[in-house]
């Protein structure tokens, strides 16, 4: 089993899933946006009762995410995520492997894995929620771009 989080501008949604993508259970709670401590407490309280049952943690969040370093920059609608290495924080606290990715890119990966672009070689996926996000699939792979922002459109919205 895996614990997956979607940190959004309004809610943090989380689900326990199996390796086939089947949702076993799910819940949501309001997103604490201003305090990193409050946001981490929210995540930790969801992980703690499940830590012996899960093999990994996946986090979808706003902002520019360097998946190699685990660093989040410019947390979008959740500014307390700026310059946070969330994967490292979760791994150090629970001893469970963790991965973090931009929410728009996660949506594109999910659609490529089990959704509407499963058989498409190239696609653009847009997410319209509290914010706007996106991901680009080229040749059946997620394209991140040279600055890790390919497909991201939320920064355009901040300019108006």
The answer to whether residues 90 and 125 belong to one domain is no
Angle of CA points 110, 112, 116, to nearest 5°: 95
Report in angstroms the alpha-carbon separations of 110 from 16, 47, 69, 103, 158: 15, 22, 22, 10, 26
Is 78 found in the same domain as 35? Answer: yes
Domain final position from 87, 102, 117: 102
Render pLDDT for 106-130 as a digit per residue (tens, 0 to 9). 999 999 999 999 999 999 999 888 7
Say if residue 86 is in the same domain as residue 150: no
Assess whether 108 and 89 both reside in one domain: no
pLDDT, residue 148, reads 86
In this prediction, residue 70 carries a pLDDT of: 81
Range(s) of the domain holding residue 152:
104-157
* Residue of 39, 83, 61, 38 whose CA lies nearest to 131: 61
Tell me the per-residue pLDDT of 67-110, one tens digit each, with 9 for 90 and over.
988 899 888 889 999 999 999 999 999 999 999 999 999 999 99
Residues 58 and 69 in one domain: yes
Residue range 28-46, pLDDT digits in tens: 999 998 899 999 999 999 9
Q: Indicate if 98 and 115 belong to the same structural domain.
A: no
Same domain? 137 vs 60 = no
pTM recorded for the entire structure? 0.92
Q: Does position 58 have pLDDT exceeding 90, yes or no?
A: yes
| Count of domains forming the chain | 2
Same domain, 50 and 114: no
One domain for residues 23 and 94 = yes
Q: Are residues 98 and 110 located together in one domain of the fold? A: no
Shared-domain flag, residues 86 and 111: no
């Amino acid at each position: 089993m895996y614990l997956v989080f979607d940190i959004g501008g309004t809610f943090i949604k989380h689900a326990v899933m199996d390796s086939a993508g089947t949702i076993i259970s799910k819940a949501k709670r309001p997103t604490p946006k201003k305090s990193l401590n409050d946001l981490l407490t929210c995540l930790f309280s969801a992980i703690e009762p499940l830590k012996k049952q899960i093999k990994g943690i996946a986090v979808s969040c706003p902002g520019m995410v360097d998946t190699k370093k685990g660093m989040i920059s410019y947390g979008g609608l959740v500014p307390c995520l700026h310059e946070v290495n969330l994967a490292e924080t979760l791994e150090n606290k629970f001893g469970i492997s963790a991965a973090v990715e931009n929410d728009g890119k996660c949506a594109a990966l999910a659609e490529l894995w089990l959704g509407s672009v499963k058989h498409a070689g190239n696609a653009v996926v847009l997410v319209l929620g509290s914010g706007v996000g996106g991901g680009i699939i080229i040749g059946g792979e997620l394209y991140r771009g040279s600055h890790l922002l390919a497909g991201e459109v939320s920064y355009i919205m901040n300019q108006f």
